[in-house]
Each structure stands twice: as structure tokens, then as C-alpha cells.
Amino acid sequence: MTTTFSRFLLPEVQRRTPDELTDDLDLTAGDSTSKRSAFWAMLVFSAVIAAAGLLSDSTATVIGAMIIAPLSTPIMGIALGIAKLEPGGVRKGGRFVFFGALAVVFVGVVFAIALPSGYDLLGNGQIASRTSPGLLSLVAAVATGFAGAVAMARRDVAAVLPGVAIAISLVPPLAVTGICLGQRSYALAAGALVLFLSNLLAMVLAGTIVFSVLVLQNMEDTLEGSRRKAVATILLLLVVITVPLATNTIASYLVTIWDQRIEAAADKWVESVPGATVEDVSFASNKILIRVQTPGDLPPVADLTKSLEGQVPNGIPVLITTTVGQDIEAGVTGG
């Protein structure tokens, strides 16, 4: 069954050879000088584009950075090194990934220096979406890793690689990590870094499994056992990454439920005041923030906090911000 599936996924007539993949993915093979110069140049360009796109909240610009980012090459090189059981193969690709990631984070820090001290990081959708990854992010990363590995391993589907580059998030979360570090928002930086690491491990796992099909089938059991140990190690790391992702997913789910309950309680609280409306409900810094627009005085706040008993965890401070809604007769235009 496994053999049939592998032949379906990687038909023999379309399979690329391990040597061909090595030439593409190993930055130290062949014309290594040209490969390295292209890698570092495109990496810096993609980091600058990503940071600028993130801070300008431009989806199109961030996508452009994803397309030209070369980090997936050494990451898949790590997977190929594991599949080939090549001595030093993981170290060669890992070195480029490690120092490349540091370079992107540094670019993000530099961009953060130009930001005002009170810059609202979570108010930027491009940044906020990459600081709170969940399990769905990991599922997408694993599927994208398999898609990328299959595209590289087959001769007939290489055209999908730009789409894979867009789907897998590598450089943008690293740039977000640097931006958040530059703004001293360490918790947000950690969230973005977890997103990058989960994507990296997912790609290595998927690449190792796919590329193993391309390696010589008649291997000694000891070699096959070594490969299984490598895959098991990556799976263990993925489990470790899954814990914070699962925790964040559960927390996001609970916050959504609490938001709905608070909004319902706040709507009922202000219904006795004609014209009063609840504009927004959110959690920030472990506080419940409620923004209310009202033309007059609000009911006692004790009524609201009492109605929240049993609806949200106890001991959370509630902060209510009010704005006065008034109709002012301004005359007529041109008068």
C-alpha cells in the first residue's frame, strides 16, 4: 500500500534524482560562490521588503517578500541531508538557516528603531496575525511542506513552487520577531518565532519523508533505522512546538466566548439608557475593555460586574471607556 501510494505521489518517470536535488538545495555544492551570493542578496532584499510591508500593513508587499525569500532552499536541504543520511548534511543547511534567520531578525530590529515608542503593534493586522499562531498554522505548514517537497521532487509540477512560497510563512514571522524585539514586546516576538519554528520543522519533516522515496530503495536496515530515528526526532520537536500552539488556540477560543458573553451583558446593561450603544469589547493586558457611546449617564457599574459573575473568570479588572453621543444643530451649508 505504501509503495503504491509513493508511486502515485512520485511517479518514477517524473522523479528527480538525489543528485539533481543536491545541486539545487545544497548551497555548498557546485558553484557555491554564486549560490551563496544569490542566497544572501535575496534574503536581505526579502527581509527589507517584508519589514516594510509589515509596517505599512500591505498584504501585497508581504506576499512579494515571501515569493523571493530563499530560506526554503537550505531548509529543504536539511531534509535532503537527513533522507540521504549524508554526514554533515544537516549541519550545512542548518548553518544557512540559523544565520539567515538572525539576519532577517536584525533587519526587523533596525526597522523597529524608526518606529515611535508608542506604536501599536497589535493594531497592525499583518503583525498581529503572526504573533499568535494556533494549531491551524501547524496543519497548514505540514501540508505546505509536503506540497513543496513533492514539487521539488517531481519534474512536472515545479510551477507550483511560487504558490508554496506564499503559503509557507518564513521571512515575515522572522521580521515580525525583530520588529517586536526592537519595540521590547518580547511576548509577541516569542509568538512570531514559534510560528517560524513550527513552519521550519513541518517543512523538514515533510521534505525528509518525500525525499526518502527518491533515495536508493535497497538500503541496509541500519541506514533505514537511522532515518527513522531522524524522523522520530523531528516529530518529537513538532510535538514540543504543538504545545504552545495548542495552548494559544484554546486561549483564543475562550477569549472569543468571553467576548460574546461580555458584549451580551454590556448590551443588556445599557439598554435602559436611550441611545446608548456598546461600541467594542476586547481583552488587553489581562483587562476587560468596554467602549460605550452614550448620550447620558450610565447605570451603576456594579450591575455590570455582577452580571458577569460566572460568565468570565473572576478577578479580571473591567475598564469602561465612554464617549458622549450628541446631535448638534449646525445650521445649513453656505448659510
Is there a contact between 51 and 175 (Cβ–Cβ < 8 Å)?
yes
Q: Which fold has domain 256-324?
A: GMP Synthetase; Chain A, domain 3 (3.30.300)
Residue 92 identity: K
CA distances from 307 to 186, 263, 310 (A): 35, 11, 8
Tens digit of each residue's pLDDT (9 = 90 or more) over 175-200: 999 999 998 888 889 888 988 988 88
- Neighbouring CB atoms inside 10 A of 273's CB total 15
Q: What is the pLDDT of residue 104?
A: 96
Tens digit of each residue's pLDDT (9 = 90 or more) over 203-250: 888 888 888 777 644 444 445 565 676 667 777 777 777 777 777 778
Tens digit of each residue's pLDDT (9 = 90 or more) over 76-101: 888 888 888 777 778 888 899 999 99
Q: What is the pLDDT of residue 294?
A: 79
> Which residues, in sequence order, are CB contacts of 97 under 8 Å at separation 6+?
71, 74, 75, 78, 200
Dist. CA 295–CA 324, nearest whole Å: 5
Give the chain's end-to-end CA distance (angstroms, integer).
84
pTM of the predicted protein model: 0.74
List the chain domain ranges: 2-217, 256-324
